[in-house]
Amino acid sequence: MRLTRRTLLATVYGTGIAACAPIPKVAATGGAGPDATAMASMIRAGDMTASEAVEAAIKRCETANAQLSFVVNDTYELARARAKTKLSGPFAGVPWLVKDLNDVTGAKTRHGSRATASAPAATEQEAFVNATFAAGLVCIAKSAAPEGGYLPTTEPLAFGPTRNPWNTGYSTAGSSGGAAAAVASGVAPMAHANDGGGSIRFPAANCGLVGLKPSRGRLIDDQPGARPLDLAVQGVVSHTVRDTAGMLAATEATGSAAVYPPVGLITGKGAKRLKVGVLTKTFTGVEAHPEVAAAVNNTAKLLEGLGHNIVGTTTWPTAPGFIDDFLSFWSLGAMQDLAAMSKAIGKTPDETLFEPFSLQMAENGKKLTPAEIGAIQQRLLAAATAYDTWIKGFDVVISPLFRSPPSPLGFLRGDVPFATLRERLTDQVGYTLIHNISGAPGISLPLGWSSNGLPIGVQVSGANGDDGLLVQLAYEIEAAAPWIGKRPPVWVG
């Protein structure tokens, strides 16, 4: 869900909301096949052509998608044609997927919805997608997302559930769940994702991947700038920290469009020993599931062994009603999105077009008065200020992503009765939303495992603009507790 609210709040409330270093030639990585960095190096060296890389990825995609259902529509012919052209950039010729909330010229964008069945192919694409093309990437398919990107699972009623490669009865999370399934199963070394409340970090956590939510305004975007309450940012899910670092460098804003000084290509750990806070309780003060808390606490011990200073346990600086305010604000996005899609097709929103959760969220948004919207906005801005003050006591804070290990399919689906689903969301999604409000970065790293063999992610978050610090620490953690050789049961790489 994009959730850029400048225009929305200006209308409803009357207030405005307000080239990287070359990647060196490297060898293939571990037991999981070449990552994107290695694949690009192999293409540059002539060990394979872009067309060969794309054709192999298409075959992997067809095999894995039959088991996992992560493709909304393929762009195979577009990819084949692009692979035959002269490509440049740090990832020239590397196949990947673009999330189906973003346009790719020549392909349909479905937004996970039945309402878009007759949508025409896109005739243009966003600035970030253009930046990924400039980096040389080749889009082989549009990856699945929940309707509108609203839910932290990828089970759109329009297409059916995307299944977790580690256990096909479980959720990949969302909203970038299709991307995560494709990468985790070995189809492509990385894939496009975006994050309006945890949608890069959640699927990375559930699927054993690296997922960086960058600082607001860090990357090239159609609407650049660190404006309050623009929730969504772009990014990727990947197997390795260096791939995430490479894409950060390739797509960050520079020049007059840059909100922060560019970090450039980060290639390893930092020398500074950090002050680390440890957090295991949700926004509502509920303790994490024991397996999730263990992953966080074990990470704290790992960092302490690496010489970092564990400052101690902390709690979120948010007010008790923070998550309620976030969901209310989220409902304004559903209201806007459903209205726009319904207008485009000339039909009234109903259950034949949209999921029950989407419809109810849109109704909730309609009920909010301008005064209520203004009050919600001010409380969320106060939460952002509180985060910015609180994080000054640490260099980074480690926490869970979800309160519990990955949930079974159906648990967070859009047709669960609304009151039940809202209660489940409030219980589970207690660690990521504040970073979308404040604009701060957070990265999910695969550092734990549930008793039934599913990945558990640990989040490392910091202050606005500290993306480089998080990537440096992620490199250090990856070297100390490597995950690259682990393969899920559904693996085609």
For residue 94, what are the CA distances in angstroms to 136, 235, 277, 388, 449?
A: 7, 16, 37, 37, 30
> 387 and 434 in contact (C-beta within 8 Å)?
yes
Residue 124: pLDDT above 60? yes
Following DSSP, what letter does each residue of 83-99 receive, concatenated?
HTS---STTTT-EEEEE
Can you tell me the mean pLDDT for 76-101? 98
Long-range contacts of 359-363 (CB under 8 A, 24+ apart): 360/418, 361/150, 361/330, 361/331, 361/334, 361/335, 362/331, 362/334, 362/335, 362/337, 362/338, 363/335
Omega into 175 within 30° of 0, i.e. cis?
yes
What's the pLDDT at 187? 98
Q: Count Cα neighbours of 335 within 13 Å in the Cβ-side half-sphere.
A: 17
Q: Which pLDDT does position 33 carry in this prediction?
A: 63
pLDDT band at 224 (very low <50, low <70, confident <90, very high): low
Average pLDDT over residues 345-355: 95
The pLDDT score that the predictor gives to residue 437 is 96
CB 288 within 8 A of CB 409: no
Q: Is the pLDDT of residue 3 over 50?
A: no
Partnered with residue 396 across adjacent β-strands are 276
25 pLDDT exceeds 90?
no
Please state, for a pLDDT cut of 70, what percent of the chain lies above it: 92
- What's the one-letter identity of residue 120? P
9 has pLDDT over 90 = no
Residue 205 DSSP SS3: helix
Per-chain mean pLDDT for the chain: 92
Ramachandran angles phi, psi of 42, nearest 5°: -65, -40
pLDDT digits (tens, 9 = 90+) for 244-257: 999 999 999 999 88
Q: Confidence band (pLDDT; 50, 70, 90) for 222?
A: low
At 301 the pLDDT is 98
Structure confidence by residue, pLDDT tens digits, 276-299: 999 999 999 999 999 999 999 999
3-state secondary structure of 213: strand
Domain ranges of the chain: 6-480
* 244 token code pair: 């995430």
Least confident segment among 3-7, 154-158, 290-294, 377-381: 3-7
Interval 131-165: pLDDT, tens? 999 999 999 999 999 999 999 999 999 999 999 99
Question: Cα–chain-centroid distance for residue 325?
Answer: 21
Structure-token pair, residue 242? 């260096």
56 Cα distance to chain centroid = 25
8-12, 21-25, 356-360: which is most confident: 356-360
pTM for the model: 0.93
pLDDT given for residue 223 in this prediction: 61
Q: Which two tokens stand for residue 132?
A: 């990924």
Q: What is the arithmetic mean of pLDDT over 205-221? A: 96
200 pLDDT above the threshold of 70: yes
Percent over 90 (pLDDT), the chain: 90
Identify the architecture of domain 6-480 in CATH: Alpha-Beta Complex (3.90)
pLDDT for 47-63, tens place per residue? 999 999 999 999 999 99
More confident residue, 32 or 365: 365
pLDDT tops 60 at residue 312: yes
Whether 283 and 386 have beta carbons less than 8 Å apart is answered as: no
Task: Give the residue with greater pLDDT, 39 vs 1.
Answer: 39
Active site amino acids: 99, 175, 199
Task: Output the six-digit token pair for 13.
Answer: 């409330």
Secondary structure (DSSP) of 351-402? TTTS-HHHHHHHHHHHH--HHHHHHHHHHHHHHHHHHHHHGGG-SEEEE-SS
pLDDT of residue 229: 63
**Greater model confidence, 306 or 222:** 306
Distance CA 373, CA 378 (A): 9
